[in-house]
Structure 1
Amino acid sequence: MTRTWFSQSLETVAVWWRIERCDGVALGFTSHDRDLVFAGLQHRTAPGMVPSAVRRTATFEADSAEVTGALSHDAIGETDLSAGRYDGARVSMGLVDWETLETESLFTGTIGSVGREGEQFSAELQSIKHMLTRQVVPRTSPTCRAEFCGEGCTLSAAHVTHEAVIAEVSSDRQWVRLSTLASPERFEFGWLRMVDGPVAGITMRIEAADEGWLVLDRPMASDTAAGVRVVLREGCDHTLSTCSSRFGNALNFQGEPFLPGNDLLTRYPASQ
């Protein structure tokens, strides 16, 4: 029999939420004044973290929820948030009876965007129905729609993945030079993952290569220094010329480079 919550004037009910990060770390929290253990996980008391109202609909419209809290909590720190450890993490939220440990889930989704105001952070939660907004039928495009070394591309990631060591970090910590790395320009639009150091496991996109330096999409942690090992994946600009000349994979190109675009309709006829 399903329990009817808040049917009495006095209830032994608290809110719980669970975060499962992409690196395999699972964290549990509760609004109760002591830690609770259920569903195989210890949910730590977090009175500074407050879930907002959860809005659920019976239509295809995405549900919405938000969590705010203090950066001073031991399990969620500013460094981890800014490093992107919680990007795309799976989130569950619900109610728990702190006496019987009976639980009910109210919301399941992923963390969309994480913001910060002073010593407070806020996380926007996206429900599983958010996946329904994705394009089912791909749109035509002059560039390749496939993820490099992913489905549709068919290239083996082992041939374009390399190991290296950080040799130098720029003052703004967003440029990095690597030792034993030939042809840095091949890594434009690729990614870099830390193997050692305080942000081990964090993946950052490589925006550009300039005179032996790799430009990352965001600054690295302040205590990242030379000697840290990294794993890199080469990048692709998703053009037909690169796919053909560099990778010899034009047969699997997932785009329409020769399809006329909308600009054809705006062209004036040329006199002969």
Structure 2
Amino acid sequence: MARQWLSRELETVATWWRIERTDGVALGFTSHDRDLYVSGIVLRAAPGMVPSAVRLTGGLDADSADITGALTHDAISKADLDSGRYDGARIAMGLVDWESLETLQIYAGTIGSVGREGAGFSAQLRSAKTALEREIVPRTAPTCRAEFCAGGCTLSAGRFTHEGRLASVSDDRSAVTVTAQIEANLLEFGTLRWVDGPEAGMTRRIEAVSGDVLMLDRPVEAGATPGARLILREGCDHTLETCGARFGNAANFQGEPFLPGNDLLTRYPSPAA
């Protein structure tokens, strides 16, 4: 028979969280006053972490929850929050009996926005139901809607992935130069994934390329040194010309470049010459 949680006046129950970051690191926490080993992961004692009321519904509206806590645990640092290591991380939370180690999962989703307030932090959680909010019928657009080397694009990611090394970092740490067997201009709108250094495992978007300089979406953390290994992914500007001429993939272009748009409707007629 299934256990009836919180059915007695005195319970040996605590809250647990499991976080899987996008850089491959998995972390576990519990509101209990000592560490617990559950389902192959150590739940570190983090009494300062407090869950809000979790709202679960049978409808299509997204379930709501959030977490607040203090930056007192070594695994949750100001630097990691600021660098975006927790953005988009998968999270599950529930109840655990600290004597029998029996668990109950009551919420699963991803971490949305993370904010800091003094010596503490707060994180908004997005449930799996948020996937139902996506548009079923895509809007027309002159550019391709497919993510490069992902669903709909059909191109192989391995074909456009290259190994490289860090050559230098700009003074304001917003741009880098790299050493790789690829022309720098082909990396525009691509990604740079760190293998070594303080940002190991993190992926940064290459927003623009100027000569051999790659401008990133976030400043590089202090401590990144020349010679650090990188994994570089080429980018695409999502135009039909690039899709056909550079990649030979126009047959899978996910856009409508020849469909008249609103700009055509706003044109004024001109008298015949």
Question: Under TM normalisation by the shorter chain, which class is it?
Answer: over 0.9
Q: Which residue of 2 aligns with 1:221?
A: 221
Q: Note the alpha carbon deviations across 1:106-131, whole angstroms, 9 max, x for none.
A: 11111112222232222111111111
Residue 146 of structure 1 aligns to which amino acid in structure 2? Answer: A
For 1:74 and 1:34, locate their aligned partners in 2 and report how far apart those are by CA, in whole Å.
15
| 1:96, distance to aligned residue in structure 2 (A) | 1.6
Q: Note the alpha carbon deviations across 1:196-227, whole angstroms, 9 max, x for none.
A: 11221111000001132100000111111211
> Once structures 1 and 2 are overlaid, which stretch shifts more, 154-163 or 212-221?
154-163
Q: Note the alpha carbon deviations across 1:47-66, whole angstroms, 9 max, x for none.
A: 11111111112211000111
> Once structures 1 and 2 are overlaid, which stretch shifts more, 80-89 or 182-191?
80-89
For 2:127 and 2:12, locate their aligned partners in 1 and report how far apart those are by CA, in whole Å.
27
Q: Which residue of 2 aligns with 1:154?
A: 154
Residue 4 of structure 2 aligns to which amino acid in structure 1? Answer: T
Q: Which residue of 1 aligns with 2:235?
A: 235
> Once structures 1 and 2 are overlaid, which stretch shifts more, 22-31 or 40-49?
22-31
Q: Which runs of 4+ in 1 moved over 3 A?
A: none
Q: Note the alpha carbon deviations across 1:118-158, whole angstroms, 9 max, x for none.
A: 32222111111111101222221100111112222222323
Aligned to 2:241, what secondary structure does the other structure show?
helix
For 1:268 and 1:117, locate their aligned partners in 2 and report how far apart those are by CA, in whole Å.
53
Is 2:60 the counterpart of 1:84? no
Distance of aligned partners of 1:209 and 1:181 in 2 relative to their CA distance in 1, 3 Å threshold: farther
Aligned to 2:116, what secondary structure does the other structure show?
strand
Residue 156 of structure 1 aligns to which amino acid in structure 2? Answer: S
Where does 1:1-20 land on structure 2 (aligned, <5 Å)?
1-20=1-20
For 1:129 and 1:214, locate their aligned partners in 2 and report how far apart those are by CA, in whole Å.
37
For 2:234 and 2:64, locate their aligned partners in 1 and report how far apart those are by CA, in whole Å.
37
Q: Which residue of 1 aligns with 2:48?
A: 48
Q: Which residue of 2 aligns with 1:67?
A: 67
> Once structures 1 and 2 are overlaid, which stretch shifts more, 244-253 or 44-53?
244-253
For 1:119 and 1:222, locate their aligned partners in 2 and report how far apart those are by CA, in whole Å.
22
Distance of aligned partners of 1:182 and 1:100 in 2 relative to their CA distance in 1, 3 Å threshold: closer
For 1:177 and 1:17, locate their aligned partners in 2 and report how far apart those are by CA, in whole Å.
39
Let me know the Cα RMSD of the aligned residues: 1.7
Q: Note the alpha carbon deviations across 1:80-115, whole angstroms, 9 max, x for none.
A: 223333222221111122222222111111111222
| 1:182, distance to aligned residue in structure 2 (A) | 4.7
Q: Which residue of 2 aligns with 1:39?
A: 39
**Conservation of the 8 A alpha-carbon contact between 2:22 and 2:202:** no
Distance of aligned partners of 1:99 and 1:159 in 2 relative to their CA distance in 1, 3 Å threshold: closer
Where does 1:83-162 land on structure 2 (aligned, <5 Å)?
83-162=83-162
Aligned to 1:44, what secondary structure does the other structure show?
strand
Q: Which residue of 2 aligns with 1:265?
A: 265
Unaligned runs of 5+ in 2: none
For 1:174 and 1:81, locate their aligned partners in 2 and report how far apart those are by CA, in whole Å.
18
Unaligned runs of 5+ in 1: none
**Conservation of the 8 A alpha-carbon contact between 2:17 and 2:30:** yes
| 1:45, distance to aligned residue in structure 2 (A) | 0.6
Aligned to 1:207, what secondary structure does the other structure show?
strand
> Once structures 1 and 2 are overlaid, which stretch shifts more, 80-89 or 205-214?
80-89
**Conservation of the 8 A alpha-carbon contact between 2:24 and 2:201:** no
- Normalised by the length of structure 1, the TM-score is 0.93
> Once structures 1 and 2 are overlaid, which stretch shifts more, 58-67 or 179-188?
179-188
| 1:27, distance to aligned residue in structure 2 (A) | 1.4
Aligned to 1:243, what secondary structure does the other structure show?
helix
> Once structures 1 and 2 are overlaid, which stretch shifts more, 92-101 or 213-222?
92-101
Q: Which residue of 2 aligns with 1:250?
A: 250
| 1:12, distance to aligned residue in structure 2 (A) | 1.9
Aligned to 1:125, what secondary structure does the other structure show?
strand
Distance of aligned partners of 1:260 and 1:58 in 2 relative to their CA distance in 1, 3 Å threshold: same
> Once structures 1 and 2 are overlaid, which stretch shifts more, 19-28 or 163-172?
19-28
| 1:17, distance to aligned residue in structure 2 (A) | 1.1
For 2:158 and 2:56, locate their aligned partners in 1 and report how far apart those are by CA, in whole Å.
43
Residue 70 of structure 1 aligns to which amino acid in structure 2? Answer: A
For 2:264 and 2:28, locate their aligned partners in 1 and report how far apart those are by CA, in whole Å.
56
